[in-house]
Structure 1
Amino acid sequence: MAENSAISWTRHTWNPWMGCTKISPACDGCYAEALMDKRYGKVKWGNHPRIRTGAHTWNDPFRWQRQAEKDGDRPFVFCASLADIFDNQVDPQWRADAFEVMRKTPRLVYLLLTKRPQNIVKMVKEVGFMPPNVAFGSTVEDRDRLKQNLPHLIVAAGLRPLFLFASCEPLLGDLGDLSPWMRGDPDTQTLRDGERFEKGIKIGADGWPKLPAIGWWITGGETDQGGHKSRPTHPDWFRSIRDQAASFGLAYHHKQNGEWVPTQADDGEWPTDLPEFCRLTPSGERDDDGWPMQKVGKKFAGRQLDGVTHNAFPEVAA
């Protein structure tokens, strides 16, 4: 349903079906719901039947595969921007059919981004095979989702995807120390001196988990969607993820700043006449010690972070 995606971190988007149910704060301003439910009325969001897309959409990956063979590259394909590939309310046969398409288009790298990483292993086992050309990712918008989602994503690394990635969009809070998820260990099974296993995860002699690295970090601010008004993201939250990824040598991609930018009057005093104004601290608490944020719109806010456009992608074998 997209020949060339407007999403900066993928070449194409592919939607074998449409529809989903909201399960986390990141879902509050769901782009897909605003577009396909509220605007076009193609599918009802929530506890309603999902809609399988047509033959043309299901044939798109084969066209992209032929072009990739001609070009000699491996384009990224986001599956799915209008649904969740690991949605509980989807007919399991649809997922099996989608996996078969992925298997038959090996030059494409499928980005399986989900808000339900706890379903990955179970649902792959239900299909009976996993295409070798997929990467697993999870949405991580705040510290609660960091704690809930990333352990399941790490478990899914046992299925040997091409890589793991985290989509911190919309970023709704400071994620804090990410080193346990960025510090990779190529051998998570063998114990060395001072190491131990806890709940199936190897703990190093320093007390930190020894896990496969989540190798790609994507960040982005929220935008207005239908009746949902965007929430601001403090630039320090982006900077923290950027800097930590750089320190571990991991790929970092910043999609957008959202609708908001920090603002301060020339005399150092906070302005009092800003439209849709709020005070927001890096910790996510709003109080008089916060930083003023002004809503200026997505186009004006842009993609740059401290004057730099971050477009990094993880490397995959040719």
Structure 2
Amino acid sequence: MGDNCTIEWVAALAKQRNAIPASLNPIRGCSRLSEACRNCYAAGIAHRFGHKGNGIWAGLTDLDPDGTPRFNGTLRWVPEVLTTAINAKRSRVYFVCDMSDLFHARVDQDWIDQVFAMMALCRHHHFLLLTKRPDRMRRYLTARETPYRINRCLYRLGGQSNRAGDQHFALKVLDESDKDRLPDWPLPNVWTGATVEDQAEADERVADLMLCPSVRRYLSVEPMLGPVDLTRIVLDECEATFLHDPRLTRARFTLNALTGAQSLRLPPLDWVICGGESGPKARPISRRWVRELQEQCTSAGRPFFFKQWGEWEPAGMCPAGTAGRFAFGDYDFDRTCFHQVEGYPRQFDMFGARAVMKRVGKKASGRLLDGRTWDEVPEVRP
């Protein structure tokens, strides 16, 4: 947490805005939700520094039977962190809760209100929200009372001191005349994003993201564990009720998330980020999956940011018995999912050849797609 955040897409956005890339974690802890969480980098960091029972991450993680760190569902509210952004004078791009999830089911609504109150005060900063739970984010942002509650939070917290054990933290003193005034809504300096890893999660989460009131919406396909087609997001009948149209409550239809759906009055996504998994138990990513997602974005005129390949790269045509650490892969021939096999050589026959992925490390695999980097970010609006 702090300034000079090294996450590539945060740094790229900050550079475009002549700001400092930073992270802000007023909540610590999380829990697994889907396969994208299995090798969570944040859980690994928290376990590394907290497994001995000391420090700010103590008690937040456990180990799986195979030794993989995971968050155990314990959450901590750290309100004093909010003053970091309030006291920062130079403009920053903050990745909020990069070590947790602001919209986790166990996060108290009052905590979220205080985070939004802080963001409402700090108009000289940009804030990036990213969640695997966009259903709760949608409910929070579309609730009629939310902006009033945020404004009352500003007024209520303004006169309080930060006593030990107090749930609240003083943000700013407002005049009596301000207590019923709504802040600009949606907040002009807050972007909302969702994480998906494959088509099933995209079908479940993208519709919620697109229905969130926000000045900008973005999607992070990282770690990418399967192909994702954003031009055909499938909405089943329970998701169709999100559109608040009784004629659609029993419908099943598709939505192009990159161009929006004018008949449904849904705005398109503003940005798509993609990347492979890194770390000791990283799963491979297919070049075909990435290329097809990039082509979807380019065709729709949407900025595409490719972060990394991760730990693996195609090893080409390897003879049987080649030593090394390999995983079954599609090597761009089809959409076959990967089945990882490490520790001994084993090849996968496909179209008469042995097509495999070889573990080379994040640095060696790089981030070039078709001979170039993809560092596109949304343009600054006037």
Q: Distance in 2 between matches of 1:237 and 1:270?
A: 26
Which residue of structure 1 lines up, in the alignment, with residue 114 of structure 2? 97
Q: Deviations over 1:215-245 (max 9, x none)?
A: 21101110115xxx00000111111111111
Q: 1:264 to 1:274 in 2, by over 3 A?
A: farther
The equivalent position to 2:96 in structure 1, one of 63, 75, 79, is 79
Residue 240 (structure 1) aligned with residue 304 (structure 2): no
> RMSD value over aligned CA atoms?
2.8
Structure ranking higher on relative contact order (CA contacts 8 Å, 6+ apart): 1
Choose 2-11 or 46-55, whichever is displaced more: 46-55
Which residue of structure 1 lines up, in the alignment, with residue 277 of structure 2? 222
Residue 288 (structure 1) aligned with residue 349 (structure 2): yes
Q: Distance in 1 between matches of 2:378 and 2:370?
A: 22
Which residue of structure 1 lines up, in the alignment, with residue 32 of structure 2? 22
Taking structure 2 as the reference length, the TM-score comes to 0.68
Q: 1:149 to 1:291 in 2, by over 3 A?
A: farther
Give the partner amino acid of 2:223.
P
Q: Helix, strand or coil: the match of 1:305? A: coil
Residue 136 (structure 1) aligned with residue 192 (structure 2): yes
Q: Helix, strand or coil: the match of 1:275? A: coil
Which residue of structure 1 lines up, in the alignment, with residue 75 of structure 2? 50
Q: Helix, strand or coil: the match of 1:9? A: helix
Q: Distance in 1 between matches of 2:320 and 2:219?
A: 35
Q: Deviations over 1:187-208 (max 9, x none)?
A: xxxxxxxxx963499x89x9x9
The equivalent position to 2:86 in structure 1, one of 62, 79, 93, is 62
Q: 1:180 to 1:174 in 2, by over 3 A?
A: closer
Q: 1:47 to 1:296 in 2, by over 3 A?
A: closer
Q: Distance in 2 between matches of 1:288 and 1:4?
A: 45
Q: CA deviation at 1:316?
A: 3.7
Q: Helix, strand or coil: the match of 2:288? A: helix
Q: CA deviation at 1:20?
A: 0.4
Give the partner amino acid of 2:349.
D
Q: Distance in 1 between matches of 2:137 and 2:79?
A: 25
Q: CA deviation at 1:38?
A: 4.1
Q: Distance in 2 between matches of 1:243 and 1:270?
A: 33
Q: Distance in 2 between matches of 1:18 and 1:126?
A: 28
Q: How does 1:264-303 map to 2 (within 5 A)?
A: 264-265=316-317, 269-270=318-319, 272-281=321-330, 282-286=334-338, 288-289=349-350, 291-303=355-367
Q: CA deviation at 1:270?
A: 4.8
Q: 1:98 to 1:67 in 2, by over 3 A?
A: same
The equivalent position to 1:261 in structure 2, one of 304, 313, 316, is 313
Q: CA deviation at 1:306?
A: 2.2
Choose 140-149 or 283-292, whichever is displaced more: 283-292
Residue 162 (structure 1) aligned with residue 215 (structure 2): yes
Q: Helix, strand or coil: the match of 2:47? A: helix
Q: Deviations over 1:84-114 (max 9, x none)?
A: 0111111222111111111111132211110
Q: Distance in 1 between matches of 2:319 and 2:249?
A: 50
Q: CA deviation at 1:127?
A: 7.2
Residue 198 (structure 1) aligned with residue 262 (structure 2): no
Q: Between Structure 1 and Structure 2, how many residues are aligned?
A: 284
Stretches of structure 2 lacking an aligned partner (at least 5 in a row): 11-20, 52-56, 62-70, 148-185, 234-245, 339-347
Give the partner amino acid of 2:2.
A
Q: CA deviation at 1:63?
A: 4.3
Residue 13 (structure 1) aligned with residue 62 (structure 2): no
Stretches of structure 1 lacking an aligned partner (at least 5 in a row): 69-74, 182-195
Q: Distance in 1 between matches of 2:49 and 2:72?
A: 19
Residue 178 (structure 1) aligned with residue 249 (structure 2): no
Taking structure 1 as the reference length, the TM-score comes to 0.80
Q: CA deviation at 1:296?
A: 0.3
Q: Distance in 2 between matches of 1:54 and 1:276?
A: 45
